[in-house]
Chain A
């Protein structure tokens, strides 16, 4: 049985799922590029044509359910990209359907007249052993050139999800040069009736699963640099603990530390885990040794020092300190220990997250008569900008691996839920995470790129 499974799986992986199959399909040079780090006002008018059979002999009304699901997931995924604007079917001159799937079969003129920039087609055929073969293409309507072509075999709903994620990742890569949004995963805290658990899902809310469920409050999840470990603080009945969850075998390591409080673990690239603990009566920031004992202090002060977070190089650490009476955001240069104050306005600034490229610091500010809002500080320009506008409270900002997307939690719909925006303050979209309040999103670093 194992042998059979392995064979099927290997065949799936090697032959179909990630192969650039489609003879003649290759990523062509394309003129359509969008700079996601620009002002953020460009929109790509996009149309995802209804799926149709690869062969004209097949009845197109018999579209398999997995192909329909794939079509829907691609549409939902791409809707998360703020620069994608879907053109409704009714606005397509000459009707919604396409006559064919390949470049030579498409009538680009009517799509140009419909002011489309990007056209995606989905073709399918049914093979033996209850699997469908699908071909996905994306065309630059203006130049009539194919930007992307991918083929997949769908044997299960999991395959459908994977195919949609991978096609969207590649399309985003082709359009922007970045793909992290569809490759990464998010860990977050989910509130149940009695406690708080740690869950993981894609940034689009798929593959949702609970990974740590204990009798107490699991808080502040943070991924290791290789994405193989997930750290969190745990508030039990009588003590705090530092927890490490290993993705490889789903095992959990529990550790206590000197003092009474364990807050806000984070990973220092190239060094190890960092945590806020209070062995000397006040929460300070410490590096943990390899054996998870308390190591050297990174920030020591009589005030509260918590919520450390590092950029991808590990050269900069942002943190919260109440050394001036109220919580404010500070940045420490790790090479020389120099500390720079980042937030000056307001009296309650917390939850800093520095972008992986080190340029932006997002944090949550309590604004009088409004609630918490997310602020982004540009270290290059030394300016700041409000990127969320409620209603309710917007907290826990977390940069995506591309330094473009920002996940955060908000109670704008009464219960706290996760939302996605960008550093350009694009309209926030809710991430579907199921029942229960969801807070404290943490992006898994990009550690793999798909090979095709």
Chain B
């Protein structure tokens, strides 16, 4: 090994030693420049001088108590978010349920002196059956109504047949008969008390009362 070669080796070793000495200092500066953060290694907390343990060089360190409080706060925040999210989900579910009840209450209508279920009525009843499948806690009282024409007694019977037709259709769709009951009001509870064809058409109906 010549003297010249030895000299280069010394220079290189010195450079390496210098790098080794400078390395940690640079690393600290980098971490210390961050706005917030938790050291995963030592529990040191680096902040912008908000800590009471400010070391004066931009590095703040939390006490164990503070750290515990902080963790508790963070956990509460997390749980708060979770509760909020759950409330939102519940509200959405309530909204869906409300809509379901509205749909369950949708009326069906009949032609004069008839208890035959029209196509539209069947579709409405099918939708009701699906809702009742989804909400096993919801039962229905089916009310049969008639227009004012005709006699009280025949209209009571006709109202019964209308309610019965809806009842039987829903039972065919798989709804437990125990969840359905019927009552006929005949012509006693008109929706529209007027004496014309439009009013009569409205009054020839089944109404659905939801029991939860």
Binding site for B on A (CB under 8 A): 189, 196, 217, 219-220, 233, 235, 238-240, 260-261, 263-264, 276, 278, 281-283, 304, 306-307, 320, 326-327, 347-348, 350-351, 364, 366, 393, 395-396, 439-440
A348 CB contacts on chain B under 8 angstroms? 113, 150
CB neighbours (8 Å) of B184 from chain A are 235, 240, 260-261
CA distance A350 to B157 in the complex (A): 12
Query: B160 touching A219 by the CB < 8 A rule?
Result: no
Asked whether A235 lies within 8 Å of B182 as measured between CB atoms, the reply is no
Question: Which residues does chain A contribute within 8 Å of B99, judged by CB atoms?
Answer: none
Interface assignment of B212: CB less than 8 Å from any CB of chain A: no
Q: Is the CB of B154 within 8 A of A350?
A: yes
Q: How many of chain B's residues have a CB under 8 angstroms from any CB in A?
A: 22
With a cutoff of 8 Å between Cβ atoms, the chain B residues found around residue A239 in the complex are 183
> In the complex, how many angstroms separate the beta carbon of A368 from the nearest chain B beta carbon?
12
C-alpha spacing A240/B157, complex, angstroms: 12
CB distance from B211 to the nearest CB of A (A): 10
Q: Is the CB of A320 within 8 A of B183?
A: no
Chain B residues within an 8 Å CB radius of A217 = 185, 188
Q: Are B188 and A306 in contact (CB under 8 A)?
A: no
Contact flag A351-B153 (CB < 8 Å), given A235-B188, A260-B160:
yes
Question: B2 at the A/B interface (Cβ < 8 Å)?
Answer: no
Complex Cα distance, B184 from A320, in Å, reads 18
Question: Per-residue 0/1 for B173-191: is the Cβ within 8 Å of any A Cβ (1 yes, 0 no)?
Answer: 0000000011111101000
When distances are taken between beta carbons in the complex, the residues of chain A under 8 Å from B150 are 348, 350, 366
Q: Tell whether A238 pairs with B152 under 8 Å between CB atoms, given A217-B188, A263-B157, A304-B158.
A: no
Are A320 and B164 closer than 8 Å at their CB atoms? no
Task: Give chain B nearest CB distance to A278 CB in angstroms.
Answer: 6
| Chain B residues closer than 8 Å to A366, beta-carbon distance | 149-150
A439/B152 in contact, CB under 8 A: yes
> Is B109 at the interface (CB under 8 A from chain A)?
no
A282 touches B161 (CB 8 A): yes
B153 close to A260 (CB less than 8 A)? no
Specify which of B157, B164, B182, B185 is in contact with A306 (CB 8 Å cutoff): B157
Would A283 and B157 count as touching, CB distance under 8 A?
yes
- Chain B residues with Cβ below 8 Å from A264 are 153
Instruction: Tell me the nearest residue of chain B to A220, going by C-beta.
Output: B153
Among A260, A282, A307, max chain B CB count under 10 A is at A260
Q: What residue in chain A is nearest B181 (Cβ atoms)?
A: A260
- The answer, among B149, B153, B161, B183, for a CB contact under 8 Å with A238, is B183
Q: Are A320 and B154 also in contact (CB < 8 A) when A260-B181, A261-B184 are? A: yes
Given pairs A350-B150, A366-B149, 6 additional interface contacts (CB within 8 A): A260-B160, A264-B153, A276-B153, A304-B161, A306-B154, A347-B113
User: Are B183 and A350 in contact (CB-based, < 8 A)?
Assistant: no
With A238-B141, A260-B182 known to touch, is A283 a contact of B160 (CB < 8 Å)? yes
Instruction: Provide the bound-state CA to CA distance between A233 and B157, in Å.
Output: 12
Contact A327 B154 (CB under 8 A): yes
With contact pairs A278-B160, A304-B158 given, residues A364 and B185 touching in the complex (Cβ less than 8 Å): no
Contact of B113 among A283, A326, A351, A440 (CB under 8 A): A326
Interface pairs (23), CB distance under 8 Å = A219-B152, A219-B153, A233-B156, A235-B156, A239-B183, A240-B183, A260-B164, A260-B184, A261-B157, A261-B184, A263-B156, A264-B153, A278-B160, A282-B161, A304-B154, A304-B161, A306-B154, A320-B153, A320-B154, A326-B113, A364-B151, A366-B149, A395-B151
A260, A281, A306: the one within 8 Å of B183 (CB): A260
Which A residues are CB-close (under 8 A) to B151?
A: 307, 350-351, 364, 395-396
